[in-house]
Structure 1
Amino acid sequence: MQRIFISDLHLDGQDERYNALLVLLNELPAGCELYLLGDIFEAWVGDDDDATWLSQLAMHFSELKARDINVFFMHGNRDFLLGEQWANSAGLTLIHSPYLIEQDTGENWVLCHGDELCTDDEEYQAFRKLSRSDEWQQALLAKPLAERKAIALHLRQQSQQSNANKADNIMDVNSAAVEQLHLDTAAQVIIHGHTHRPKIHDLGEFQRVVLGDWTDHYYYVVSDGSRFELLKRAI
């Protein structure tokens, strides 16, 4: 079975990235599996967001069922509020990090968004812990939609300012955290996004497959079960 992995599209409307995604969806082979590993959206303020492009995208995802294509969605640090309501409307299966794929060969792959591996960024990890709590999420979702959108914009601006002052290595994965995930899951392959540093790393006992972000180019990883190929295409 062919599997395709993407992350970090940061969609916020119908633009070049949105159109590139539709092209990719149209080219998917029948019977494959598509894994969306977080930050597919620039911000998710609730399943009740009434933006027209979101309902149209849900329709495009749901149409993949006719070609026997299963789509799996994992939350990122931008779209962790996406819930069952929108996932069901789009025909997506929600999966949670770390997610293990057991191959028929006995090989294990583990999927995650990647932000949980960036443990050197203590400021972000503190916010991550807070924002993943039920209390924080319920309090935010209880606010009117317009207020949630304003809060999301403010948080993005804060994040951009904070990241501009951080050393580059702090926002990359911590090697000890990666090794611990490998030990905890006994996985031969770790697949993640978040860092915007696309590459396939051969670490001896296992591979770390890093997905890329979508800007003027887009990245996706294809696997036939025995090898991984990182592809890059112009938008």
Structure 2
Amino acid sequence: MATLFIADLHLSAQEPAITAGFLHFLQQEETRGADALYILGDFFEYWIGDDDPDPLHQQIADALKALADHDVPCFFIHGNRDFLLGKRFAARCGMTLLPQEQVLTLYGHKVLILHGDTLCSDDTEYQRYRRRVHNPLIQRIFLWLPLKLRLKIADNMRRRSQSGNAGKDESIMDVTPKTVEAEMMKHRVRWMIHGHTHRPAIHHFPLPDGETGHRAVLGAWHSEGSMIRVTKDAVELVRFPF
């Protein structure tokens, strides 16, 4: 048996191949036989509220609900693109919302899972933005706005983010090693799984207590799928065609 992790699909109506690839992934024997599926954020390219009537959302909800009805529990951690995804949509999917950091016990090992954006602490500009948009009052005000205005704001924010990232040094958009170490020591884990950076790999490194840390990073679903498969014997990064 295996537990599966995915992130950074950035689903949208403008990328039908990715949607088709995800729906195909859900139909696979391995997925339908998994112990659980964890989605670690940026599942959607943007999320402006559970009341958005986008047909894609219902299509995805139906597919995830079918997986849940197959006795495969699904769990979700918010990303920086879909942090407003709420309880109403989660209920439609039959999935459970988790906090931004969660420690799991998988096959005898403790594993810290998270989206990964909080690990990029050298990107101080982004961290200031993150604190602002995670303010509950700002979120409530945004969700009160008309859908068309919310969509326009989200589009403008995506454009500004893309423009700002284009001028940043690549190194500050990756995780900060000291932050990774601090999180692992705080939670007393040796394994971490996250997405966000779009730099798929499994890293091994010394921790301050003399033990070895392991950080598994999910890839984005640009032209192929990416998942991390955890079994009692191994942690594997797997790429597969749509």
Band of TM-score, shorter chain: over 0.9
Say which SS state the counterpart of residue 203 (structure 1) adopts: strand
**Identical aligned residues as a percent:** 37
1:209 is the counterpart of 2:239: no
The 5-angstrom pairing of residues 80-95 of structure 1 reads 80-95=83-98
Hey, what does 1:2 align to over in structure 2?
A: 2
Structure 2: which 5+ residue stretches go unaligned? 207-211
Matched-pair contact (CA < 8 Å) for 2:12–2:56: no
Distance (Å, rounded) in 1 between the aligned partners of 2:226 and 2:129 = 28
Match among 132, 147, 162 for residue 164 of structure 2: 162
Deviates most, 52-61 or 221-230: 221-230
Where does residue 41 of structure 1 map in the other structure?
A: 44
Q: 1:144 aligns with which of 131, 142, 146?
A: 146
Cα separation, 2, equivalents of 1:121 and 1:163: 10
Residue 82 of structure 1 aligns to which amino acid in structure 2? L
Stretch of structure 1 that moved more, 148-157 or 7-16: 7-16
Deviates more, 1:144-153 or 1:219-228: 219-228
Which TM-score applies when normalising by structure 1?
0.97
Deviation for aligned residue 1:104: 5.1
Partner of 1:191: 193
Q: Matched residues in 2 for 1:193 and 1:65: separation?
A: 23
Are the equivalent residues in 2 in contact too, given 1:31–1:67 (CA < 8 A)? Answer: no
Counterpart in the other structure of 1:61: 64
Between the aligned partners of 1:170 and 1:30, the Cα distance in structure 2 is 39
Q: Which residue does 1:227 correspond to in 2?
A: 234
One-letter amino acid of the counterpart of residue 80, structure 2? N
Indicate which of 112, 130, 133 corresponds to 1:131: 133
CA contact (8 A) 1:17 1:214 kept: yes
> What SS does the aligned partner of 1:206 have?
strand
**Please, which runs of 5 or more residues in structure 1 have no aligned partner?**
none
2:68·2:95 contact (CA, 8 Å) conserved in 1?
no
The count of residues paired between Structure 1 and Structure 2 equals 234
Amino acid of the residue matched to residue 105 of structure 2?
A: E
Separation of aligned partners in 2, 1:136 and 1:91: 28
